[in-house]
Amino acid sequence: MLDLPTAFGQPALTTRGILERWDEMLPRLHELAADETADWRPLEHLRAHAPVEPRQVFQSGANYRQHVIDLEVAHRAPDDPRTAEEARAEIAAVMDRRAAEDLPYVFIGLPSAISGPFDDVVLPDWAEQPDWELELAAVIAKPAYGVTVEKALEYVAGYTIANDLTDRATVFRRDMKAIGTDWLRCKNAPGFTPLGPWIVPAESIADPGDLRVNLKLNGETMQDESTKDMLFGIARLVSYISQTSRLLPGDLVLTGSPAGNGMHWGRLLRDGDVMEGSITGLGAQRTRCVAERTAS
């Protein structure tokens, strides 16, 4: 590990500050990485925080074909007349239509939900069905507004790992079905988005559309899929978001989670569980679930 504020002679330097000057900073980061005489320090005695503090978190939903099919089957109502095969076929047709219409689905997350890649994850006592969603996250380098798909990747500094924890029991509003989903409630508890450990420069990732996303629960593989299953790639998501919102340096674009969530397996998170998440070339995170302790 290298103390970048010291190395750059800028004590107040932050990750966001580096991203705001990404084109200037990246060559200097390469020089430092190759400098064996720099003041490198071992990591084992340090606490790894999230690699960036974003101002905005954009989250792509229903972006992995098989994941959505699995959730549709798992969420079927008890009185649903469809067989599992019929439900799969129906939602598969919906996903194919979405891809043909080229219309991503994106919602907003809260920066306060972000935690470090090795921090404990506190499961709130109200979360009846906490689940995992390991995701590839793109980190924005410079302000982006109204950018084309062809230019969108020029605004991406790099990639990192996010685990977008979700309480399945509160995804849908039971009292107001017409309103639909409640993303605030189900996804934004403190620490529900472990992030990191690293931001890997985009130029070091040959193809973000062909990375392996792997999550193990207590050593057992639960998710092991390729980002090839995404309906909409990084460039399309960044461009789509930028048509409405101005992306800022350090912002995150979460790209959705592949198949293999707890609802699919019939096994949701509980006190003491350990999640290990990795994505090709981006390192690995390890988080332990801890039940919320209420004051007596």
Q: pLDDT tens digits for 17-38?
A: 999 999 999 999 999 999 988 8
Burial of 240 from C-beta contacts in 10 A (0-12 / 13-18 / 19+): buried
Q: Which amino acid is at 209?
A: G
Model pTM?
0.92
Query: How far is 280 from 209, CA to CA, in rounded Å?
Result: 11
Residue ranges in the chain assigned as alpha helix (H): 4-7, 15-20, 22-33, 65-74, 84-101, 149-152, 183-187, 234-242, 262-265
pLDDT for the residue numbered 195: 98
144-171 per-position pLDDT tens digit: 999 999 999 999 999 999 999 999 999 9
CA atoms within 13 Å, Cβ hemisphere of 257? 25
Cis peptide before 197 (omega within 30 of 0): yes
Query: How far is 133 from 109, CA to CA, in rounded Å?
Result: 14
Query: How far is 152 from 243, CA to CA, in rounded Å?
Result: 11
Model confidence band, residue 295 (pLDDT cutoffs 50, 70, 90): low
208-241 per-position pLDDT tens digit: 999 999 999 999 999 999 999 999 999 999 999 9
Residue 49 near residue 1 (C-beta atoms within 8 A): no
3-state secondary structure at position 159 = strand
Q: Which residue has the tokens 């990639």?
A: 159
